[in-house]
Homo-oligomer: A and B are copies of this chain.
Amino acid sequence: MKQYKITVIGLGLIGGSMAVDLKRRGFASRVMGVEADPVNAAAALKIGLVDQAVSYDRCLEDTDLVILAVPVGEAVRMLPEILDRIGSEKQDSGMKRHMTVIDVCSTKSALVRSVENHPCRDRYVSTHPMAGTEYSGPWAAMSGMFDGKACVICDGEKSGKDALETVENLYDVLNMRTIRMNAINHDMHAAYVSHISHVTSFALALTVLKKERSDRHIFDLASGGFSSTVRLAKSNADMWVPILTQNRDNILDVIDTYMDEMKAFRDAIASGDGDGIRGLIGEANRIKRIIK
């Protein structure tokens, strides 16, 4: 297998987990890591997520592939900078190197728009590996996290053929199946199937914390059902604030549908309409056929 020198910018849950498996499974001959937070950087080195820490300024030196694994707000700022630097290096070096840059963010439209007309647009591949946990930071990184999950590759026709091949190869090593979709559709579907469940989970946590004054009662009475429903409410604001703001219109649309469904439930319960409740539950149960 061809081996790559890779640089991971952002050594959190996603970046750290990719670093571990890409090295362990032989895709990467060497992993360099960029991490702005000094505690996280020290931990990532100590845990052994990367071979070497580098500064953001020097992160393109002697590397074949850059993985941008920072929150999407920062990614939108960094991606054009990185392509700029690839462009100027290409000029200096007579285009000897074919560096590839990917991001792994949960919203894609703003990112692809940020480099739409960039002369080095072909070096960038927009990807969303759909895996994770509610935890964050280098200590949350783990091997095998991506195995068997799906990864969306957006607007692939705008990336260079060799860059796409490298990225297909990378996700193959992570045991992910890749799905092609344009960035606008991705953001719409992601709002329906992923982002909304974070919002409902945050709202559930806020509700329980407000209604249930006793932490002890929550701890005692929370069965597995509640824990799994509220699990995503542990998710990190640094990651989710930019997702919810960037994907605003899709998320508002799906929140409105959701509020209508909640209201239908409320009305059926308020009027003691057992058949109505049964109909709604029966309809909701259809999810069984789709989600294991």
Give A residues with C-beta under 8 Å from B. 130-134, 149-150, 152, 179, 189-190, 192-194, 196-212, 215, 217-237, 240-242, 244-245, 248, 251-259, 261-266, 269-270, 272, 274, 277-278, 280-292
Contact = CB atoms under 8 A, between A and B. Distances in A.
A223 B291 CA distance: 10
Count of identical protomers in the assembly: 2
Nearest to A242: B274
A78 B60 CA distance: 73
B207 A278 contact: no
A290 B215 contact: yes
A219 B290 contact: yes
The 6 closest A-B pairs by CB, nearest first: A197-B229, A205-B284, A205-B287, A237-B281, A203-B261, A202-B284
A282 B202 CA distance: 9
A215 B103 CA distance: 27
B269 A209 contact: no
A152 B199 contact: no
A252 B226 contact: no
Contact of A202 (B130, B240, B280): B280
B274 A241 contact: yes
Contacts of A131: 223-224
